[in-house]
Amino acid sequence: MSALGYAELCCVSGFSFQRGASTPEELVARAAELGYRAIALTDECSLAGAVRALQTAEACAIDLILGSRFTLDEGVTVVLLVRNRNGYTRLCRLITDARQRVAKGDYRIGLADLQADTLADCRILVLPDYDCPPGPALHHLLAWLATTYPRQSHIALALHRRAADMAHRRRLDELRARYGLPLVAVGDVHMHRRSRRALQDVFTALRLGTTVHNAGRALFANGERYLRPRSTLAALYPDETLAATLRIAADCRFSLREIRYDYPSEVVPQGQTALEHLRTLVERGCQRRWPEGTNATIRRQIEHELALIEEKNYPHYFLTVHDIVEEANRRGILCQGRGSAANSVVCFCLGITEVDPLRHDMLFERFISRDRNEPPDIDVDFEHERREEIIQYIYRRYGRQRAALAATVIHYRPRSAMRDVGRAMGLSVDQIDTLAGALSRRSDDGSLAAQLDERGIDIDTDDLDRILMLVDTLIGFPRHLSQHVGGFVLSEVPLEQLVPVEKAAMPDRTIIQWDKDDLEAVGLMKIDVLALGMLSCLRRCFALIERHHGRRLTMATIPGKDKATYDMISAADTVGVFQIESRAQMTMLPRLRPQRFFDLVVEVAIVRPGPIQGGMVHPYLLNREKKREEIEYPSEALRGVLERTHGVPIFQEQVMKIAMVAASFSAGEADGLRRSMAAWKKKGGLEPWRERLKSGMRANGYAEDFADRIFEQIKGFGSYGFPESHAVSFALLVYVSSYIKCHYPAAFAAALINSQPMGFYAPAQIVADLKRHGVQVYPIDVCHSDWECTLEHGNDEEAAVALRLGLRLVKGLSRDAGERIVAARSTAAFTQVADLVNRARLGQRSRDALARADALRGLAGHRHQAQWQIAAAHVHADLFAGLDAPEPDVDLPAPKEGSDIVADYASTALTLRRHPLALLRPQLARQGVLCARDFDALADRRAAHVAGLVTIRQRPGSAKGTTFVTLEDETGCVNVVIHRDLLARYRVAVTSARLLRVNGIMQRHGPVTHCVARHIVDDSARLGKLTTWSRDFH
Amino acid sequence: MWLALRLPHWALDSRADASDRPPGTNPTLVVAEQRGRRHVVAADAWALEQGVRRGMLLADARMRVPEAAVLTRHIAGEVAALERLGGWAWHYSSQVHIARASDRIECARVVFEIGASLRLFGGRQRLLERVRADLDRMGYRYTLGVGDSPHAALAFARAPSPKHRAKGLAGLPLTCLDLDAQTTLSLKASGLRLAGELLALPPGTLVRRYGKHTLDELERLRGRRPHGLDFYTLPQRYGTRHELTGAVETTQGLVFVLRRVFAELAAFLQGADATIQTLQLKLIHDELPPTRLLLRLAAPSRDADHLERVANERLARVTLAAPVLEIALASDRLRRFEQDQDSLWRDPDHAGIEQWPAVLDRLRARLGHEAVGWLHDVDDHRPEQASARHDRPATSHTPVSAPRPMWLLDVPERAPAELTLIAGPERIETGWWEHSIRRDYFRARDGQGRLLWVYRDLAHAHSSDTPVYYMHGLFG
C-alpha cells in the first residue's frame, strides 16, 4: 500500500439538498478513519453543514477545510476553498449574494461575480466536464485564472473508473500544459460509503423530477463517488496530483473558531461600559420593584448575578433583550421572558420577567452555569397578534444587514421520507399515502407487512424491503432550511461576514445558514422573539377590567396567594386558563390541588410526555400524600436535589443534577446529556449515555431500577423536556389568567374570544362555561355589538356585567364590514335593514352573513324575515337612498327552535338558545341515555349510556394510542376514553361524527370521571343539518 | 315530454370494466384535484355503502374504505363515453342533449324528448322500462326524471325520493331546481323549502333579490321559455376510447372487457340506426406503441356481436406485448342502415397506419413480421437495458459517450482464456432497484484477434480470485 497522504478537497454533504447522500458528520468521521490528512466540505453554495463538520472534525482530530461549490451560469463548475479569515468572509458574502438573487433554495452566480478580490484568499479548483470537451467558458475562466491567480488555481481531476477516464486525463493534461495550472486529485465525493449509492440515486431522481427507473444515464454509472481508501486512490491517480492535495490543504488554515462575534454596541450609551449601564438599569429597576427599599437577600443575589454576568461577558446580551422589551412596553405590547437566564433578579429588575420572588415564595434556583460555556438563554414571548411589530422594530433598529432569523434544519420524518422515496421509486400517490400512513404507526402497531396486507396494498416484497431500507436511511437527513420560529441573530458587523444569509419563504425575511445548535457551538447570540396567544388575551383583560371595573392591573400587580383562585384551580374549573386547561391537566388538578405558586410550576411541568413516560406522575401524587419525613431518598445527596418535588424528579434541571450527583457526571457531560435529550428523536445517540449513566450510578451504589427509571425519563424529556426555568414563567401566566377568570369571568371570556384562534376551547365552550357561572350573555346584534365581544352593564350601574357577543363571531363577515357597521351606528342608530345596508355599505356576502347569524333581530325580526328583507336591500350609489318601491308583503313562517339552533351553529358556531341535546332529550331518555349531570353521579364501574356533541377529540402522544373525546350536552360534558383496539373498529365514527352515543363503563377517581367506551354509535343523523364545531388535537 | 338521466358516478361508470368487476375486489374511488386537495368524484356501490360520498376529501374516504383503489378522473374518457350514450339515446329521440359534469353542472346528464316516440314504443311505461333495461345492461347508475320541459325532467331526476315526485313540480324540494348555490342558500335561509312556495311568490320580489335569471329558470321549468339546450348530432364515424380501471394483462381478460365495449357499440349502432364495415381496434399500452387490429366485414353491418366474434378470433392469435390500459375504436363512415352500400365504399380510410417502405414490407413478407426490427437506444447505464427492439424506427436518439459494441450477446459467456486487456476498467454498477449489476468492463483482444467487450463480475468475485472474464459483446 502506498503511504501517500491525501486530502479530499471536493465533497458535498446532505446540505447540498437532493445531491449529497451523507451527513457532514459521517463524511468527516469517515475521512478521519481512512487517514485522510484533511477534508473539505464544499456544499453547493452553502455553509449550512460547516458547524456540524467542525464539531466532528474536532472530535476526530482531522483538519477541516471550508469551502463551497458553484456551477456558474456559463456552465463551469468551480470549488472555492477558504484559506484564511478574510477568505471566509468573502465566501460568506459571495454565497449571500448568489442566494439573494433568486427564489429560496436556488442560487445564481456568473463568471463576473468571481471578481479579483473575491478570490484573493481562496484556493480555486476548476472541475472540467467529463462528458464533453472543454468549451469556451472553461477556456475563458482558466485563461483569466492563469493570469490573475496562477498560484491559487488548480484543475481538478476526478476519476471514477468510467470508460473515458484515459481521454479525460489526456484532456486535462492538455489544459494543464496550455494554462500552466497544476492538476489536483479530487474525489468529487457525494457519500461517505458506497452503500449510500441507492440513496444518492433517489436524490438524483427527485432533483430531476423523475423515478430511478426512468432517470437513465442521469444517475451516476457507478458508486465510486464515495470516500475511497488511500490505496485505491493511489492506484488510480498520478502521484503528483495526490501530493498537490496536501499542499493545498496545508495552505487552507482557516478554522471557524477564528470568527469573532461582537454584540451590537448601540444598546450601550456613549461613555459608559456595558456593565456600568446594566448596573444603572438594574438600580433603576430595583427602585421600581421595591420602592420601600431592598433587603440584604436581594442585594446579595443581585451582586452575585452581576458578577457572573461580567465574568461571562454577557452584559450586552441582557441589554439587548432589555432594549427589545422596552420597545414592547413603549408600544403597550405585553411580553414576558422565560428560560434559565430569565429567572434572575436582574431580569426581574429589567422588566424582562414579572415573576416576583417575594410574592410567590419562589427562590431562584439556577441562573447561568459558571462551568458551562453556553450562551445565556432568554426566550421572550409577545402577544401573538403584535409580535410582527417587534420583529419590524428589530429590523429597523439593527438594520437588515445585521439582523436575521436563525435557520431550522427541517429533517426528513417518516412521512416525508416515505413520500420522497416512494416518488423516486415510482409508486403511485395512492400507494405512497397508504404506506406513509402505515409507516407513521409502525412503531406502535406491529409489523408493517401485515398492515399493508390488511389494506390491500400490493407491493413486491423486494421492492418494499428496498423502500423501507431507503426510508430508514433518509429519516433524520436534512431536507431543507426553514426559518426558526423567532430566533433572531444580531451582530455588530453585517451578518454576511460571519455566515451566509439566504432568503426565507416569507417575503422580507432572511435566515442565516445555521440553526440554533450551530449558533451555540460557535458562540453567536440568539434572542428568541416568540408569539403567545395568552398574552394578547391578558392585555385585553387588563383593558376591559380597567374600563368596566375601574381597577388597573398588570402582570406584576395581580395579588398573589389568592385563595379563591387556588380553590378554583383545585376544582379544575379552568376552561380557557393558560396551560392547565387541557383535559390531561384538568384531570390532574383535583388530585394535585395546588395551593401555592410552586405547585403551579410543578403542575405545568408534570403533565407532559416526559414525566408521564418516565412514570413520575403517580409517585409524585403518592409522595405528596406522605409526610415529609416518610419520603425515602435513594441517598442523602439526592435529597438535596429532589426534596422540593417530594423525592420525584420533575424538571429537566433536576435530571441533569441527578446525573451529576448520582452518576458523577461533570457539568459538561450533563450538558451533553441535555443536548442528546433534545436531539435523540431525530438523531438517536442516547444509548452511550445510558451505559455511562447506569455505570456511574452503579458505582455510587444506586439501585438498578432507579437508574432505569431516570433513563426512561431522560428519553421522555427528549420529546418535550420541560425545564423549571420555563415552567416558572408559564406558571405566572397560569396564575394571572386564573385570577382574572376567577374574579372577572366576563372580561376573561370576552378577551379570550377576542384573541381567537388560541387555546384549547372554541367560543361555544367558552360561552357555555361563562353561562354556567351565572353570567348573562347577550346575542350578536347589529344595533348593539361591536366587532369584538364587549361587556355591558345592565340597566343600572350596580348590576353585574354581562357579555355581549361581537360581530367577529359572524362567519363570513369581514372585519372591515364589521367596523363600518360600528362606525355608522355611532353617528345614528339604524332605523331599518335598508338603512343599515346603505350606511355601512354592506356587500352581498356581509348581508347574508348578518341575516344568517340572526344579528338583525333588532331591525327585522326573525331570521327568515331578516334574510328576505336584507336580500332586497342594496347599497345605493346615489342620493336617493331608501326610495325603493314598496313591494307586496310576503308572509314567512318564523323558524322553529330546532332550525334556529341549527342556523346559530352554522353561522356563529355557538348558540345562546337551548342546547341541541335538550331538544333530543325525550328521545334519548327513552333509549336510556343519561345526561352528563346524571352520569357524574354514578358509582365507579357502573354501566353508562351517554350521548353528546363532540367538542374535542384528542390523541396525546403519551397515551399509547388512547383517544379522548369530550361529549357535551345541555348539562355539561362527559369525557370518553376510547382504547386503541376499540378505535380500530369505530375509527370513522370517532373521527367524523358530530353526535356520538356511547355505551361504556364509569371510571371514577374521586371527582374525576371518565366513560370508558365499549360500544360507539354515530348519531349525527339526528342532528339533521346541525353544524357543530370540534377542535381536533393530535 | 322530456326524460332526464343524471349519472352521478359517471367518472367511474364510464370506464369500460367498471361494473363487471368480480365480487370481492377492492372498492374503487375516482378522485379529482381541486385547489390542491383530492376529492372523490365517483365511487362504487361498496364504497357508498361504507359512507363514502361524492365531494368527500380522499383522506376522509380512505378512513372508510382504506383498501380502496383510487383512480384519477379522466375527462376525455368521460366525454367519449357520454357521446356513445348520446348515440344510444338517438334510438329514442332525435332531440338529445348531453353534458358532462363541470363547475356549473353537478353531474353528467343526458336529456331527450320522448313525447314524439311514446306511441312508437308502446306508451310511457313501456318506453321507460326499455330505457331502464338498456341502462342496467350497460351497467350505469343513474337517476331518472320525466317532465314537461327538460328542466322539469332534470328537477324530477334530482328528487331525493319517489315521495317527493308524487306531488308534482310544486312538491319538489328547492334543492332540485337548477338555481345557483347562493340563491338556494338565501331562499332556504328565508324559510322557503319547496319549489311550490317559490313559484307562488310575486315575481317582482324574486327579480329584485336574485335577478332576472332566477325568474327565467322558473319559467323554463314550467316550459314558458325556450329551454336553450344544444342538441347532440350523430358523428360521421364511430370513434371512441374506453379507459380501463386497471391494466388488463391477458387476452382472456380482454375478451371479458370487450363484451362491454361491443355492447356499447351495438347500442350505439342501433340507436343511430347505422352500419359500419371496418373497425380499427387499438389496444393501448403504457410505453410501447399500441397493438392494432383491423376488423373488416364482407359487407356493412350493424351486427356488433359478429364484430365481437371476429375480434375475439383475431385476439386469440395475438400475444400482448404489454398490459392494455385503454381501448380505442375507430370505424369507417357510418351509413344509414338501408342505404346502398356500394357507392360509399370507395376510399378505405387508413389514417393512422404508417406507410412502410416497400422494401421493408417485402422483407417482412419473406421473413415474417417479427424478424425485422429496429434497435432503439434506451437511456440506461446497463448494457442489457440500454437497447430495445421495436418494429419501427426511433423518433429520437440520445448519443452515448462510452464505446459500445454493436453486437451484444443475449447471454454473456466465458471469455476465451487468451485475452489481452486493451482499455478499462469501466465500472458499471447500478440497477439496484431491479436487475442489479456490478461489473468492470474492458476492451480486450482474444487469440483470434477479435476485439471483445468483456467484464469481471464484482458482485460475485473476491479480490483474491484469479479474475474470470465474461464476453458480453463483439466490436464489429
Residue A583 φ then ψ, to 5°: -70, -35
Residues B279 and B146 in one domain: no
Show residues of chain B in contact with A161, CB under 8 Å: 425-427, 440
Exposure of A352 in the CB half-sphere (CA atoms within 13 A):
29
Contact at CB, A222 and B434, closer than 8 angstroms: no
Alpha-carbon span B437 to B382, nearest angstrom: 8
Find the closest chain B residue to A452 by CA distance.
B67
From residue A20, give the alpha-carbon distance in Å to each of A12, A29, A426.
5, 16, 21
Give A-chain residues touching B210 at CB under 8 angstroms: 871
Tell me the C-alpha distance between A632 and A654, whole Å: 17
Q: Report the number of distinct structural domains present in chain B.
A: 3
A177 versus A716: the higher-pLDDT residue is A177
B433 falls within a domain: yes
Distance from CA of A609 to the nearest CA of B (A): 28
> Is residue B117 assigned to a domain?
yes
Q: For residue B37, report the phi and psi dihedrals to the nearest 5 degrees.
A: -120, 145
Residues B327 and B411 in one domain: no
- Predicted confidence band at A742 (pLDDT cuts at 50, 70, 90)? very high
Considering only CB atoms, which chain A residues are within 8 Å of B430?
A: 201, 219-222
**Which among B186, B205, B425 has CB closest to A888?**
B205
ipTM (interface pTM): 0.71
Residue-wise pLDDT for A969-1005, tens only, equals: 988 889 999 988 888 788 888 888 889 999 999 998 7
Q: Which of A867, A889, A994, A1018 best probes binding to B when mutated, by most B CB atoms within 10 angstroms?
A: A867
Is B59 inside a domain boundary? yes
| % of chain B at pLDDT higher than 90 | 15
CATH code, domain with B326: 3.30.1490.100
Residue B330 is placed in which grid cell?
375507430
Q: Are B31 and B12 in contact (CB under 8 A)?
A: no
pLDDT of residue A450: 62
Q: pLDDT at residue A357 above 70?
A: no
Q: Which residue of A has its CA nearest to B437?
A: A222
Place of cell 476553498: A81
Whole-number pLDDT of residue A444: 41
pLDDT at B367: 65
- Residue window 159-178, chain A: list those with CB within 8 Å of chain B: 160-166
Backbone phi, then psi, for A930, in 5-degree steps? -85, 150
pLDDT tens track for B314-340 = 887 778 888 888 888 888 888 876 543
Contacts of A220 in chain B (CB under 8 A): 430
Of A74, A50, A70, the closest CA to residue A119 belongs to A70
CB B279 within 8 A of CB B295: yes
| Average pLDDT score over residue span B248-266 | 82
Quote the percentage of chain A above a pLDDT of 90: 42
The answer on B202 and B55 residing in a single domain is: yes
Domain A7-252 fold is: TIM Barrel (3.20.20)
Mean pLDDT (whole number) for A292-311: 84
With contact defined as beta carbons under 8 Å apart, do A160 and A219 qualify? no
**Predicted pLDDT of residue A935:** 93
CA atoms within 13 A on the CB side of B350: 7
pLDDT digits (tens, 9 = 90+) for A862-892: 889 999 988 888 776 655 555 566 778 888 8
Q: Do A872 and B189 touch (CB under 8 A)?
A: no
Beta-carbon separation of B189 and A987 below 8 A: no
pLDDT tens by residue, A883-918? 566 778 888 888 888 888 888 888 898 889 888 898
Top-confidence range, A445-449, A758-762, B465-469:
A758-762
Distance CA A729, CA A21 (A): 43
- Identify the pLDDT of residue A612: 64
- Does residue B356 surpass a pLDDT of 60? no
B32: left (phi over 0), alpha (psi -120 to 50) or beta: beta
A126-143: average pLDDT: 91
- Min Cα distance B389 → chain A (Å) is 17
A475 vs A469: CA distance, rounded Å: 10
Which residue would you say has higher pLDDT here, A362 or A994? A994
CB spacing of B189 vs A164 below 8 angstroms: no
Would you give the DSSP letter of residue A281?
Answer: H
Whether A719 has a pLDDT exceeding 90, the answer reads: no
Tell me whether residues B63 and A213 touch, CB distance under 8 A. Answer: no
Closest CA to A959 of A973, A977, A941: A977
A953 closest CA partner among A978, A918, A981:
A978
SS3 B384: helix
Confidence band, pLDDT 50/70/90 cuts, at residue A300: confident
Q: Nearest Cβ partner of B190 from A213, A219, A864?
A: A864
Give the pLDDT mean for A78-106. Answer: 91
Reported as a pLDDT band with limits 50, 70 and 90, residue A239 is very high
Residues 6+ apart with CB under 8 A from A260: none
Query: What pLDDT is stored for residue A704 in this prediction?
Result: 83
Own/partner pairs, A702-711, CB within 8 angstroms, 24+ separation: A702/A634, A702/A635, A702/A662, A703/A634, A706/A634, A709/A614, A709/A615, A709/A616, A710/A614, A710/A649, A710/A655, A710/A658, A710/A659, A710/A662
Q: A888 in contact with B at a CB cutoff of 8 Å?
A: yes
Residue A331's pLDDT band, with cuts at 50, 70 and 90, is very high
- The strand pair at A1008-1018 and A1031-1033 is best described as unpaired
Q: What residue in A sits closest to B386 (Cα-Cα)?
A: A216
Taking contacts as CB-CB distances below 8 angstroms, the residues of chain B near A197 are 429, 432
Q: How far is CA A903 from CA A547, A854, A1027, in A?
A: 34, 8, 8
Q: Are strands B69-72 and B28-34 parallel, antiparallel or unpaired?
A: parallel
DSSP-assigned letter for residue B204: H
Grid coordinates of A330: 413603549
| Position with higher pLDDT, A505 vs A445 | A505
Question: Does A863 sit within 8 Å of B66, measured CB to CB?
Answer: no
Whether the per-residue pLDDT at B296 is higher than 70: the answer is: yes
> How far is the C-alpha of A314 from the C-alpha of A422, rounded, in Å?
49
Name every chain A residue with its beta carbon within 8 A of the beta carbon of B189: 848, 851-852, 863-864, 867, 903
- Could B427 and A162 be called an inter-chain contact, meaning their C-beta atoms sit closer than 8 Å? yes
Q: Give me the residue label for grid cell 490543504.
A: A249
pLDDT over 70, % of chain A: 90
In a domain, B372, yes or no: no
Q: Among A1013, A901, A904, which residue's Cα sits nearest to residue A953?
A: A1013
Does any CB of chain B come closer than 8 Å to the CB of residue A984? no
Q: Are A436 and A474 in contact (CB under 8 A)?
A: no
Asked if the model's pLDDT at residue A299 lies above 60, the reply is yes
The confidence band for A335, taking pLDDT boundaries of 50, 70 and 90, is very high
Within this chain, do residues B263 and B217 fall inside the same structural domain, yes or no?
no
Instruction: Determine, yes or no, domain membership for B452.
Output: yes
DSSP A47: -
Q: With bands split at pLDDT 50, 70 and 90, how would you rate the model's confidence at B346? A: very low
Q: How many Cβ atoms are within 10 Å of A143's Cβ, its own excluded? A: 12
- For A625, other C-beta atoms within 10 Å of its C-beta total 9
Task: Provide the chain A residues 939-968 that lie in CB contact (below 8 A) with chain B.
Answer: none
Q: Which residues of A touch B185 (CB under 8 A)?
A: 848
Of the candidates B201, B403, B429, which has its C-beta nearest A890's C-beta? B201
Ramachandran angles phi, psi of B63, nearest 5° = -60, -35
pLDDT at A24: 95
Statement: residue A333 has pLDDT above 90 = yes
Is residue B347 assigned to a domain? no
Distance from CA of B272 to the nearest CA of A (A): 40
Q: Which of B189, B380, B398 sits opposite A863 (nearest CB)?
A: B189
* Separation of alpha carbons A587 and A603, rounded Å: 11
Residues of A in contact with B70 (CB under 8 A): 428-430
Architecture of domain A916-1033: Beta Barrel (2.40)
Tell me: do B216 and B246 sit in the same domain: no
Flag if B425 and A161 touch (Cβ within 8 Å). Answer: yes
Every domain of chain A and the residues it spans: 7-252, 260-402+524-608+722-763, 413-475, 612-716, 776-908, 916-1033
Query: A162 and B185 in contact by Cβ < 8 A?
Result: no
Same domain, B320 and B292: yes
B429·A197 Cβ contact <8 A: yes
Q: Which pLDDT value is given to residue A365?
A: 44
Strand partners, A945: A999
How confident is the model at residue A544, as a pLDDT?
A: 94
Q: How many Å lie between the alpha carbon of B81 and the closest alpha carbon of chain A?
A: 26
Per-residue model confidence (pLDDT) at position B347: 38
- Report A:224-263 residues touching B (Cβ under 8 A): 224
Determine whether the interchain pair B202/A890 forms a contact, defined as Cβ–Cβ distance below 8 Å: yes
Choose one of B188, B221, B254: the last residue of a domain: B221
Q: Identify whether residues B156 and B41 lie together within a single domain.
A: yes
Asked whether the CA dihedral B268, B272, B273, B276 is positive or negative, the reply is negative
Contact of A895 with chain B, judged by CB distance below 8 Å, is answered with yes
The rounded distance, in Å, linking the Cα atoms of A556 and A351 is: 10
Predicted confidence at residue A370, as pLDDT, reads 55
Taking only the tens place, the pLDDT of each residue in A246-278 is 999 999 989 998 888 888 888 888 888 999 999
State whether A890 and B205 contact (CB < 8 Å): yes
Neighbours of A102 (CB within 10 A): 12
Convert the pLDDT of each residue in B187-235 to its tens digit.
988 888 889 999 999 888 888 888 888 898 898 988 888 888 888 888 8
* pTM of the model as a whole: 0.77
Mean pLDDT of A8-27: 95
Q: Is residue B469 part of a domain?
A: yes
Name the closest residue on chain A to residue B31, using Cα atoms: A430
Q: Is B346 contained in some domain? A: no
Residues in chain B within 8 Å Cβ distance of A224: 427
Please report the pLDDT score of residue A926 as a whole number.
Answer: 93
Q: Is A436 on the interface with B (CB under 8 A)?
A: no
What pLDDT digit, counting tens, does each position of A760-786 carry?
888 998 998 999 898 999 999 999 999
- Do B206 and B286 lie in a common domain? no
User: If pLDDT is split at 50, 70 and 90, which confidence band does A2 have?
Assistant: very low
Domain residues for the domain of B42 are 2-221
Chain A residues touching B425 at Cβ < 8 A: 161
Answer yes or no: do B154 and B255 share one domain. no
Residue A1 has pLDDT above 70, yes or no: no
Which of B449, B461, B462, B452 has the alpha carbon at shortest distance from B415? B452
Subunit contact B433:A217, Cβ cutoff 8 A: no
Q: Identify the weakest region by mean pLDDT among A187-201, A326-340, B244-258, B385-399.
A: B385-399
Chain A residues with CB under 8 Å of B380 CB are 216-217
- Judge whether A988 is closer than 8 Å to chain B, CB to CB: yes
Of A835 and A654, which is predicted with more confidence? A835
The count of other CB atoms within 10 Å of the CB of residue A452 is 19
Whether the CB of A212 is below 8 Å from some CB of chain B: the reply is yes
Claim to verify: residue B205 and residue B281 sit in the same structural domain: no
Residue A685 confidence class, pLDDT cut points 50, 70, 90? low
Whether residue B212 is found in the same domain as residue B275:
no
Sign of CA dihedral A559, A561, A565, A569: positive
The mean pLDDT value for B242-261 works out to 81
Window from A57-66, A487-496, B66-75, B455-464 with minimum mean pLDDT: B455-464
Q: How many angstroms separate the CA atoms of B43 and B63, rounded?
A: 14
B186, B378, B475: which to substitute to probe chain A, counting the most A Cβ within 10 Å? Answer: B186
Please say whether the dihedral angle defined by the alpha carbons of residues A35, A37, A42 and A47, taken in this order, is positive or negative. Answer: positive
Find the Cα–Cα–Cα–Cα dihedral A829, A832, A837, A839, rounded to 10°: -40
pLDDT at A807: 95
d(CA A433, CA A550): 58
Which amino acid would we find at residue A564? A
Same domain, yes or no: B246 and B193? no
> pLDDT at residue B369 above 70?
no
- Bigger pLDDT: A622 vs A714: A622
- Closest-CA distance of chain A to residue B306, Å: 38
Question: Could you read off the pLDDT of A448-483 as tens digits, one per residue?
Answer: 666 666 555 666 777 888 888 898 889 889 999 988
Is the C-alpha dihedral spanning A612, A615, A618, A624 positive or negative? negative
| The predicted structure's pLDDT at residue B322 | 85
Mean confidence (pLDDT) of chain A = 86
Q: Are A216 and B379 an interchain contact pair (Cβ–Cβ within 8 Å)?
A: yes
